[in-house]
C-alpha cells in the first residue's frame, strides 16, 4: 500500500476514534507536515472533506495530550 493510501486509511481510522493528525503521523513514522500535505491531497481529490468543529468538542475542552487532539478549527472527514 502506498504511503498516500496509508495516510488516508489512518485518517479515516483516527476520525472514528477521535485521534488527531499528530497520532497519525507518529503511527506511520511521518512528520506532521508530511501528513498535513497528504491530507490536503486527499481533500483536493475529494476523498476527505474539511468541516468546521464547534467549540463544544469535549476533546478540545479537556485534552489528555495536546498533540492527540484533532485540529481545533478544522476536521477532516471521508467524503460521501
**For the chain, which residues make up each domain, given as ranges?**
3-78
Q: Are 54 and 5 in contact (CB under 8 A)?
A: no
Q: Which CATH architecture has domain 3-78?
A: Orthogonal Bundle (1.10)
Residue 78 has pLDDT above 80, yes or no: no
Residue 65 CB partners (closer than 8 Å, separation 6+): none
What average pLDDT does the chain have? Answer: 75
Q: Can you give the pLDDT at residue 75?
A: 56
What's the rounded Cα separation, in Å, for the pair 36 and 10? 12
Question: What's the sign of the alpha-carbon dihedral 24, 28, 32, 38?
Answer: negative
Greatest alpha-carbon span in the chain: 36
Q: Can you give the pLDDT at residue 64?
A: 36
The pTM assigned to this predicted structure is 0.65
Amino acid at each position: 500500500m502506498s504511503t498516500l493510501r496509508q495516510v488516508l486509511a489512518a485518517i479515516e481510522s483516527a476520525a472514528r476514534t477521535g485521534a488527531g493528525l499528530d497520532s497519525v503521523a507518529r503511527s506511520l513514522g511521518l512528520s506532521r507536515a508530511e501528513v498535513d500535505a497528504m491530507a490536503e491531497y486527499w481533500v483536493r481529490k475529494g476523498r476527505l472533506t474539511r468541516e468546521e468543529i464547534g467549540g463544544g468538542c469535549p476533546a478540545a475542552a479537556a485534552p489528555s495530550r495536546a498533540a492527540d487532539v484533532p485540529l481545533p478549527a478544522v476536521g477532516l472527514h471521508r467524503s460521501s
